[in-house]
């Protein structure tokens, strides 16, 4: 019971046992006139008693230490896993909240969590998380906002001269700068479309200065591009359009969510950009009214440059930048002026000097998670400070605080130079472990709601049932230890018993029962030792397994073992007649056997505490009855024998012996010894039970917490992979993050598809009947969601949704390969992606036809497909976005916009590949493609096209 290590306890027990035996031997031999006749047997009996006590104590110590060490290791493993999952989960949350507004992502998570709470089965929960077959609409209407569209004029020509890395760096630096400008002007960037950037002011919280914010941002963007042009000599400019009105904002579909806005006002703002002038901010009359004469304007004449503005008879204006009225500044010296350097290189070098924040840069330091935050397991948004940036300020609006990427409190990176991330993680794990151990103090545990301090039972019946049904693989070792005690008691009985024949018969019967019990426990091991001979006895393994797993099997075996030992312990007291005085000296050893039998009740460490109390109480009561009533005469004779020995040795009278208390009554002392051991065994049993229940409760809490974290981690991963492709998202979370550099990847052969529903624009109206367009978007959400469901089919596992642009669906095939594999793919595999994309387009037609039947509409799909090299990357600091660029993407977009309803238009190169795969293509002829001139295109012939043609005719 003392807190000694095992070796210290063994050494102390050996020293104390030997000291007692040596002292007793010297006293009865050297310092005694007459050597007792049974001295050898007494000394051997003492040695057996000490040996039995030491071995049983060591057995208890070893098993308890093993249990505690296993508990510590399990707890450490669980805590380590929990912390890693917690870190990864928070990285994913930060990543998710960097892409979607917080209120949208939280609403999505709550909706899925509610569905998971209704499902108790863990496998069913995982299936629900993976399938995600719900078509919830996360769209909200906002009034009085301003929409800004901006396009970089001349960027297409510049991009054609860029390497993949240069293009991604250039876009990230430009749009990172625009994100910074948006933050300064309280604008929320919505999306990046190629080199087009659009944002809204007044979301998600209404702002009275929304028009001023957008106009100021547009002027700042034009100024930033002007500085680039002056410094690099590259002819690029900015064309900005702004309109004020109402929007519907949110996300639609099931995959690759991107925050977007819809309304007629958004369409008008888009046309304001296309009808604007380079270097100027083009605004409508609605925006001008909200400016309250904050800026001087001049006539914009947008109707002369854009037919949509002319059709709606929109009067437009051009904002005069107050900075242009000041004295002109001398132009800044150009970068490497005079050197013959490509324009893209000059641009890249100059833009890198801006030092735009890289996408997901706030996820770089996993060490930034404070132990307190992890230990408490609670993260409130208000407790998470925003990432500090040069010149940063406290957010003045909810929009700014919601849109800023979340990061946990992180010391400067330089503070980590002398400390590896592993050592930091180990330190946090140590703090977590220390806190957990402190919380497991008996006082806190006994006062917890999961335990009862009196009966040691769990108030929750399910918890108590689980505890009692635990597997007990160590049970066979308990029986082995009890068998050892049985043989020790038998040896002592052999040394002191007079009626050895009766003892032998009793031992033979009892040992057969005990060995049979032992055989039942180890019968499975026998089959493993002799597999050939016992191959037909398959039931042996089942019996051995039942002992480990079923309490209803273990309890009878433990009861039989304990009863056998208790019966053997009282043999001398019941069957030996102690007539001679010399035989009375063996009487204490009968009591010692009873005490050893009490110890046998305690070796079943994981046995029911109530059953152990019952065994100890019944055994002690039996021993009390035998000692006090049955053997009363023998103990009285033994008392007289002790007094006689003292009188003869010390020459004392009987009165003096009684006066000094040199001899206590053996009967009373025997009962006291048994009582002391009874109390000791009860205390040890109670401590063991308390320890094992704490161990179970700790593991239960760990597993419960771990399951909860894993469920939330799976939920975050689901949401995350709905924002980024899985192979890209993996680069920004976990232990092998590679977000120190910009993600950009070049692919040799990717098939790109654009599929649009052009007549949805005619269907979309804003009136009170359809809740100002909300119900129209609900139908669009169903269309996109049905399209997304096709991506979960194994056939289309290689198809990656890129984004939706209004009612246009963009997807690509051939992006899912691991880094370095795409260049080594064989031609057949690359070309097979094109056939898969055509099959996907045909499946989209089928989905849309089904929606038409159920909604009584006549939507038609228009598809354009092209294949070739593309560049993929993640750009944007405040709201990183995955996208693909290249001539292949531009041509695929033109194939869709110049195509015909109900048909799949492809380029000549793509048609050749499809013909080789067995598809028939019909030549359409030469068509004029913007930026490409005359291109020869083809329509893919499908059975659906023929059926639709027949229906139309």
- Catalytic residue numbers, as ranges: 894, 930
H helices within 100-196, ranges in order?
102-117, 122-131, 155-159, 164-184
- Report CA Rg, the chain: 43
Whether 245 and 263 have beta carbons less than 8 Å apart is answered as yes
> What is the residue-wise DSSP string for 393-414?
---SSHHHHHHSPB------GG
Q: Cα 324–327–329 angle (5° rounding)?
A: 90
- The C-alpha atoms of residue 279 and residue 152 are separated, in whole angstroms, by 10
Q: Which residues are within 8 A (CB) of 28 and not within 5 positions of it... i.e. 6 or more apart?
A: 35, 36, 39
Per the DSSP assignment, residues forming a β-bridge with 299 are 317
Q: Which long-range contacts (CB under 8 A, 24 or more apart) does 294-301 make?
A: 294/212, 294/215, 295/215, 295/319, 295/320, 295/322, 296/320, 296/322, 300/276
- The C-alpha atoms of residue 14 and residue 251 are separated, in whole angstroms, by 76
Both tokens assigned to 574: 């019941």
- The C-alpha atoms of residue 555 and residue 561 are separated, in whole angstroms, by 10
Rounded to the nearest 10°, the torsion over CA 15, 21, 24, 28 is -140
Exposure string over 648-657, b if 16+ CB within 10 A, otherwise e:
eeeebeeeeb
> What is the residue-wise DSSP string for 330-371?
PPPPPTTTTS---HHHHHHHHHHTT-PPPTTGGGS-GGGS-H
Q: Which residues are within 8 A (CB) of 676 and not within 5 positions of it... i.e. 6 or more apart?
A: none
Whether 730 and 95 have beta carbons less than 8 Å apart is answered as no
Token pair 């057995």 is at which residue? 59
Q: How many residues does the chain have?
A: 953
**Residue 887, Cβ density class (10 Å: 0-12 exposed, 13-18 middle, ≥19 buried):** middle
- The C-alpha atoms of residue 126 and residue 718 are separated, in whole angstroms, by 10
SS3 874: strand
H helices within 764-826, ranges in order?
774-790
**Residue 371, Cβ density class (10 Å: 0-12 exposed, 13-18 middle, ≥19 buried):** middle
Per the DSSP assignment, residues forming a β-bridge with 805 are 808
- The C-alpha atoms of residue 199 and residue 188 are separated, in whole angstroms, by 5
């Amino acid at each position: 019971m003392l807190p000694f290590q095992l070796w210290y306890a063994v050494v102390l027990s050996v020293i104390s046992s030997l000291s007692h035996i040596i002292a007793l031997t010297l006293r009865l031999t050297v310092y005694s006139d007459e050597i007792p006749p049974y001295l050898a047997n007494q000394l051997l009996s003492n040695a057996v008693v000490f040996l039995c006590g030491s071995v049983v104590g060591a057995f208890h110590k070893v098993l308890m230490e093993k249990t505690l060490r296993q508990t510590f290791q399990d707890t450490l493993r669980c805590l380590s896993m929990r912390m890693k999952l917690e870190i990864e989960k928070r990285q994913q949350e930060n990543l998710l909240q960097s892409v979607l507004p917080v209120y949208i992502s939280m609403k999505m998570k709550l909706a899925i969590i509610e569905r998971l709470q209704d499902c108790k089965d863990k496998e069913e929960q995982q299936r629900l998380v993976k399938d995600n077959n719900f078509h919830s609409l996360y769209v909200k209407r906002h009034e009085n906002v301003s929409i800004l569209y901006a396009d970089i004029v001349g960027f297409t020509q510049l991009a054609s001269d860029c390497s993949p890395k240069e293009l991604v760096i250039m876009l990230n630096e430009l749009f990172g700068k625009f994100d910074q400008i948006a933050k300064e002007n309280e604008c929320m960037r919505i999306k990046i479309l190629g080199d087009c950037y659009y944002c809204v002011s007044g979301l998600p919280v209404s702002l009275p200065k929304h028009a001023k914010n957008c106009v100021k941002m547009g002027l700042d963007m034009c100024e930033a591009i002007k500085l680039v042009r002056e410094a690099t000599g590259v002819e690029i400019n900015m064309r900005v359009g702004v309109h004020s009105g109402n929007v519907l904002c949110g996300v639609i579909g099931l995959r690759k969510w991107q925050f977007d806005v819809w309304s007629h006002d958004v369409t008008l703002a888009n046309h304001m950009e296309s009808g604007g002038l380079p270097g100027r901010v083009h605004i409508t009359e609605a925006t001008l009214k909200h400016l309250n004469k904050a800026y001087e304007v001049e006539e914009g004449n947008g109707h002369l440059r854009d037919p949509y503005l002319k059709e709606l008879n929109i009067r437009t204006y051009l904002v005069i930048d107050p900075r242009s009225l000041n004295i002109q500044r001398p132009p800044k010296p150009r970068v490497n002026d005079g050197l013959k350097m490509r324009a893209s290189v000059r641009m890249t070098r100059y833009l890198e000097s801006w030092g735009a924040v890289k996408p997901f840069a706030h996820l770089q330091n996993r060490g930034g998670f404070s132990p307190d935050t992890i230990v408490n397991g609670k993260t409130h948004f208000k407790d998470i400070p925003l990432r500090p940036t040069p010149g940063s300020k406290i957010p003045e609006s909810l929009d700014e605080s919601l849109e800023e990427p979340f990061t946990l409190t992180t010391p400067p990176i330089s503070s980590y130079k002398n400390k590896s991330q592993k050592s930091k993680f180990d330190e946090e794990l140590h703090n977590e472990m220390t806190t957990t151990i402190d919380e497991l103090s008996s006082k806190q545990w006994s006062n917890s709601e999961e335990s009862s301090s009196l009966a040691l039972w769990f108030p929750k019946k399910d918890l108590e049932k689980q505890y009692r049904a635990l597997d007990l693989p160590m049970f066979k070792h308990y029986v082995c230890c009890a068998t050892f005690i049985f043989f020790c008691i038998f040896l002592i009985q052999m040394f002191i018993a007079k009626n050895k024949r009766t003892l032998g018969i009793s031992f033979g019967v009892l040992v057969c029962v005990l060995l049979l019990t032992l055989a039942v426990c180890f019968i499975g091991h026998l089959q493993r030792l002799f597999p050939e001979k016992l191959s037909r006895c398959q039931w042996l393994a089942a019996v051995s397994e039942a002992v480990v797993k079923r309490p209803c099997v273990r309890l009878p075996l433990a009861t039989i073992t304990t009863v056998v030992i208790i019966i053997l312990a009282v043999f001398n007291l019941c069957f030996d007649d102690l007539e001679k005085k010399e035989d009375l000296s063996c009487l204490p050893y009968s009591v010692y056997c009873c005490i050893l039998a009490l110890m046998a009740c305690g070796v079943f460490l994981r046995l029911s505490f109530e059953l152990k109390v019952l065994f100890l109480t019944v055994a002690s009561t039996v021993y009390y009855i035998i000692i006090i009533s049955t053997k009363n005469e023998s103990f009285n004779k033994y008392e007289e024998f002790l007094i006689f020995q003292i009188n003869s040795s010390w020459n004392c009278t009987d009165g003096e012996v009684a006066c000094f208390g040199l001899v206590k009554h053996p009967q009373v002392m025997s009962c006291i010894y048994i009582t002391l051991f009874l109390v000791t065994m009860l205390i040890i049993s109670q401590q063991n039970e308390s320890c094992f229940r704490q161990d179970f409760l700790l593991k239960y809490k760990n597993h419960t917490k771990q399951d909860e974290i894993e469920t939330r981690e799976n939920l975050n991963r689901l949401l995350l992979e709905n924002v980024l492709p899985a192979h890209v998202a993996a680069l920004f979370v976990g232990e092998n993050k590679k977000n120190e550099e910009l993600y950009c990847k070049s692919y040799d052969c990717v098939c790109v598809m654009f599929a649009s529903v052009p007549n949805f624009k005619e269907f979309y109206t804003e009136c009170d009947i359809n809740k100002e367009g909300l119900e129209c978007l609900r139908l669009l959400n169903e269309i996109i969601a049905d399209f997304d469901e096709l991506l979960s089919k194994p056939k289309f596992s290689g198809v990656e949704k890129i984004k939706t642009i209004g009612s246009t669906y963009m997807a690509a095939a051939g992006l899912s390969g691991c880094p370095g594999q795409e260049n080594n793919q064989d031609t057949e595999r690359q070309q097979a992606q094109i056939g898969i994309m055509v099959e996907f387009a045909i499946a989209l037609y089928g989905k849309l036809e089904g929606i038409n039947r159920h909604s009584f509409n006549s939507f038609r799909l228009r598809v354009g497909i092209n294949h070739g090299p593309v560049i993929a990357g993640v750009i944007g600091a405040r709201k990183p976005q995955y996208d693909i660029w290249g001539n292949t993407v531009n041509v695929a977009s033109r194939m869709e916009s110049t195509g015909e309803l109900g048909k799949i238009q492809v380029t000549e190169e793509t048609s050749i590949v499809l013909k080789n795969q067995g598809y028939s293509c019909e030549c359409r002829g030469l068509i004029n493609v913007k930026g490409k001139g005359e291109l020869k295109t083809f329509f893919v012939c499908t059975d659906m096209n023929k059926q639709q043609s027949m229906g139309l005719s």
